[in-house]
Structure 1
Amino acid sequence: MNQTITGKIKAGAALVDPNRYGRSDRSATGRWFWEIDRVLLLLLAVLIGVGLIAVAAASPAAAQRYSGGSVHFAELHYFYRQIAWIALSLPVMIAISMQPRERLRRLSLIGALVCMVALALVPMLGAEVNGAKRWLNLGIGQFQPSEFLKPFFVVSMAWLLSLRESDKSLPIFTLSAVITGVVAVLLMRQPDFGSTIIFAAVWIAMLAIAGLNLRILVGLGIAGLVGVVLAYFFYDVATARINGFLFGEGDNFQVENAMRTLTAGGLFGMGPGAGTRKFGLPEPHTDYIFSVIGEEFGLIACLMIALLYLAIVARVLIKLLDEESSFAILAAAGLVIQFGLQALINMAVNVQIAPSKGMTLPFISYGGSSMLALSIAMGLLLAFTRRNPYLTRSPYVVKWGGENIRG
């Protein structure tokens, strides 16, 4: 009996043999390498690479539209700038993914508060672009508070909703509703109806994961539909977008032209740089970059990108099946739902099944604020899905390097 147990313990120790798996590296980087979800990291790297190719394809059209006739405005101007933003954003993503969860929780609460204050200042101090005030001019560049608020809002809501486990008498759901309502009001003042929908949808999804009563969830769904109807009648931006989508009223040129551009390349596309319809798109490098991909690389490439987003969402949700921390589950699920929903809305607009919302395609569209904010969000996601790979392999515990490690 003792020999059998001893043999199993030795087998368990072999699983964490530092010489075999490089576990002798006890540095923060070494621990991060073994705990990070490398499949998820690879999927994100592929998505960023695809985004660079897409921005290179869209950059000539965007440069022609926004150059103002300047001879110094290179065709690949936006491509070069996107490389610079990626060079800045990727270290941020990796650095955040190496942090412990508790530290990220505290930083997210502070970040959410700062971004909400900035969001409140946007209507008064913001720079107007295409009829909307969504950016604060910092001198060296523009800062879009709503983009940075997204990940911090999710983590803050996850912490708030997880408090219900320790004390069910706390008015958690009411408090979360008030915070979400304040964010919605601030966004609609810009106006930014699309982001308002994303914040509300992610909040309801997190309530469902937190175990809110089904009747209340149904009530919230009905309230959301009523809110959209009221927005249609009393909110000019929503009225114009919905009329344009449903009845073809007003300026519906953008979504119609995007659909024509998307399908112009057929299944396999016209080839890199061979697209011509992209020069007629209003925002070829941001809102309508998915249509540029369709024209130059084909509908099959568009399908593969959609599947890549689906793979990222599915990977995270499957990873959370073995997670025990309710805070980590809510935070990671909320972040990946928000990520997937933004991608879905952008693609839906490009294929003309949703009204135009001015929303970028995550990690593919050009944008400094967007790239940096998404890197923060995915850094948080990677941190909340980190796990010691040896924790569930065996019921036998081995003392190794001062730690108790299961085989």
Structure 2
Amino acid sequence: MTGATRDDARGLRGRVEERLGRANRGPVAMWFWELDRVLLLLAFLLIAIGLIAVAAASPATARRYSDGSHQIAPMYYFWRQAMWVGLSIPVMLLVSMMPTSLARRFALGMAAFFLLALLATPIIGVEVNGAKRWLGMGIAQFQPSEFLKPVFIVSIAWMLSLRARDPDLPMVPVTLALTGLVGATLMLQPDFGQTIVFGSVWMILLMVSGVSSRIIGGFVGAGAAGVVAAYVFYDTARIRIDNFLFPDHGGAGADHYQTDMAHATITAGGVTGTGPGGGVAKFRLPEAHTDYIYSVVGEEFGLLACAIIAVLFLTIVVRVFVKLLDEEDAFRVLAAAGLAAQFGVQATINMAVNTGLAPSKGMTLPFISYGGSSMIALSIGMGLLLAFTRRNPYLHRSPYIVR
């Protein structure tokens, strides 16, 4: 490196330190120092892994959806995902810069809009693979349930946090009614997997908010009864559960085939994988780029790579909950806990389906699976999580949570 180059590098470093130094009290500098940079790094790692995974799955999906008159380029889905990532990262960073009050108002407004969109989906939605989950036309289609998840969770957290001021407010039945409305609408699409995510996160928020164990136990019992009722009266749930529990008697249903192929694919590469581009089983796997991308990772990069992904999701959840131990704002505690729980629950369901531990649910793997609606919605959710976990580095905090 020449002397001039070294001087240029020192000058650039000096300008960065001047702009982001702790002595700088500008909004960007304060955002940088308040931000949980480890959490942001974990999100970026998952996004980078997702791009690699979509690149591995893209040729299989392109061949599957090509026909004699329409050929899809092998890397078509990778380049589209790269475009969505390019749009999503600025969204994540902009949302993470919002102060708590603005982020809360943003979430409440978005929740109202996307709840109305979700209610309209069974009526005017676009049907894809036998399910009405999309609104819009052509490339402008979007999935309301994906966008609703993070903002709905923040809205429920805000309602439950009001109990800290007035325990007599009927926020538990109000949030139950709203969650039930969302669940019933999702099951009309049908989308049983998303229903489980909304219901599970709502239960977690109840526990974090300090609702009595008696009430929690009652809801757990009601949830178990709801699963039984879904099995008896809801064909989608019954078919998937039967194909999972009784694979030898469930016939050649799509769910049975998908879970069998997912298991065959994820184990085909052993511990270290076949290497990038070396997978063969992925070409027989439906939805290799979305629901079953975890299996593609297992084949080409090995079960070790699958374990690393699982650890990254676990690290995000654990880091958020540990960081909340000394948080004094009830709303921030509930909102951040709910958003972290959403990432954890959704990832757990997807990985369980791919490994044969749960029936097929049509659930994507956060930041890993292909999808524009999913990527932007997850970036909004991560941006909100980063906003609610920001800490003033000069503020002393009590070691106790005040509710």
**Is this contact kept in 1: 2:20–2:28, CA < 8 A?**
no
Q: 1:49 to 1:19 in 2, by over 3 A?
A: closer
Q: Pick one of 271, 276, 279 that aligns with 1:275.
A: 279
Unaligned stretches of 5+ residues in structure 2: 1-16, 399-403
**Structure 1 residue 67: Cα displacement:** 2.4
Structure 1 window deviating more from structure 2 (44-53 vs 132-141): it is 132-141
Q: For structure 1, list consecutive stretches of 5 or more residues without a partner in the other structure.
A: 1-17, 395-407
Quick check: 2:18–2:24 contact (8 Å CA) kept in 1? no
Q: Do 2:350 and 2:365's aligned partners in 1 also have CA atoms closer than 8 Å?
A: yes
2:379 aligned partner: 375
Alignment of 1:220-259 (within 5 A): 220-248=219-247, 249-250=250-251, 251=253, 252-259=256-263
Read off the aligned partner of 2:391 and give its amino acid letter. R
The reply to whether residue 60 of structure 1 matches residue 56 of structure 2 is: no
Q: Does the residue aligned with 2:135 lie in a helix, a strand or coil?
A: strand
Per-residue Cα deviation, 1:354-393 (whole angstroms, up to 9, x for no partner): 0000000000000000000000000000000000123239
* TM-score, with length taken from structure 1: 0.90
Instruction: Please state how far the C-alpha of 1:280 moved relative to its aligned partner.
Output: 0.3
Aligned-pair Cα RMSD in Å: 1.6
Once the two structures are superposed, residues 216-235 of structure 1 have per-residue CA deviations (whole angstroms, 9 ceiling, x without a partner) of 10110011000000000000
TM-score for both structures, normalised by structure 2 = 0.91
Whole-angstrom CA distance in 1 between matches of 2:395 and 2:106: 28
For 1:183, what is the secondary structure of its paired residue? helix
Find the residue that maps to 1:133 and give its secondary structure. Answer: strand
Q: Which residue in 1 is equivalent to 2:171?
A: 172
CA distance in 2, matches of 1:72, 1:345: 33
SS in 2 for 1:203: helix
Higher Cα Rg: structure 1 or 2?
1
**2-side partners of 1:158 and 1:206: how far apart?**
7
Letter in 2 for 1:112: A
| Helix, strand or coil at the partner of 2:127 | strand
- Residue 265 of structure 2 corresponds to 261
Q: Distance in 1 between matches of 2:140 and 2:295?
A: 27
1:248-306: CA deviation from partner (whole Å, max 9, x where unpaired) = 11411000110000000001101100100000011000000000001101111111111
**Alignment-derived partner of residue 311 in structure 2:** 307
Taking the TM superposition and a 5 Å limit, the aligned residue runs for 1:72-151 are 73-151=72-150
Aligned to 2:169, the other structure's residue is in SS state coil
- In structure 1, how many angstroms separate the alpha carbons of the residues matched to 2:173 and 2:302? 47
1:327 — aligned with what?
Answer: 331
Ranges of 4+ aligned residues in structure 1 off by more than 3 Å: 18-21, 69-72
The CA distance in 2 between the partners of 1:214 and 1:316, in whole Å, is 23
Aligned residue for 2:300? 296
1:159 aligns with 2:163: no
CA contact (8 A) 2:35 2:386 kept: yes
CA distance in 1, matches of 2:378, 2:32: 21
| Amino acid across the alignment from 1:312 | I
CA distance in 2: counterparts of 1:319 and 1:157, whole angstroms: 21
Give the superposition deviation at 1:72. Answer: 5.5
Local SS of the residue matching 2:267: helix
Whichever residue aligns with residue 325 of structure 1, its letter is D
Change in Cα spacing, 1:42 to 1:162, as seen in structure 2 (3 Å) is: same
- Identify which of 364, 369, 378 aligns with 1:360: 364
Alpha-carbon distance in structure 1 between the residues aligned to 2:224 and 2:388? 32
For the residues of structure 2 that align with 1:313 and 1:235, how far apart are their CA atoms?
32
Counterparts of 1:98 and 1:393, CA distance in 2: 21
Distance in 1 (CA, whole Å) between partners of 2:27 and 2:86 is 22
Paired-residue identity, %: 60
Structure 1 pair 320–231 and aligned structure 2 pair: CA distance change class (3 A): same
Secondary structure at the residue paired with 2:364?
A: coil
Q: Distance in 2 between matches of 1:311 and 1:365?
A: 19
Residue correspondence of structure 1 range 34-53 to structure 2 within 5 A: 34-53=33-52
Q: Deviations over 1:203-226 (max 9, x none)?
A: 011001001010110110011000
The structure-2 alpha-carbon separation of the partners of 1:393 and 1:345, relative to structure 1 and needing over 3 Å to count, comes to closer
Deviation at 1:138, TM superposition (A): 4.1
Q: 1:208 to 1:139 in 2, by over 3 A?
A: same
8 Å CA contact 2:327–2:397 kept in 1: the answer is: no
Structure 2 equivalent of residue 350 of structure 1: 354
Tell me the distance in 2 between the aligned counterparts of 1:193 and 1:98.
34
Change over 3 Å in CA distance of 1:20–1:140 after alignment to 2: closer
Query: Judging changes above 3 Å, is the alpha-carbon distance between structure 1 residues 393 and 212 closer, same or farther for their aligned structure 2 residues?
Result: closer
Aligned counterparts of 1:158 and 1:182: Cα–Cα separation in 2 = 17
Determine the C-alpha separation between the residues in 2 that align with 1:67 and 1:380. 38
Change (3 A) 1:209 1:244: same
Return the alpha-carbon distance in structure 1 between the equivalents of residues 179 and 397 of structure 2.
Answer: 41
| Residue of structure 1 equivalent to 2:202 | 203
Deviation of the 1:74 alpha carbon: 1.3
In 2, Cα distance between equivalents of 1:130 and 1:166: 47
**Aligned amino acid, residue 337 of structure 1:** A
Superposed displacement of residue 69, structure 1 = 3.9
CA contact (8 A) 2:20 2:32 kept: no
Distance 1:266 1:139, change over 3 A: closer
Shift, 1:70, TM fit: 5.5
- How far off is 1:29 after superposition? 1.2
In structure 1, how many angstroms separate the alpha carbons of the residues matched to 2:270 and 2:68? 32
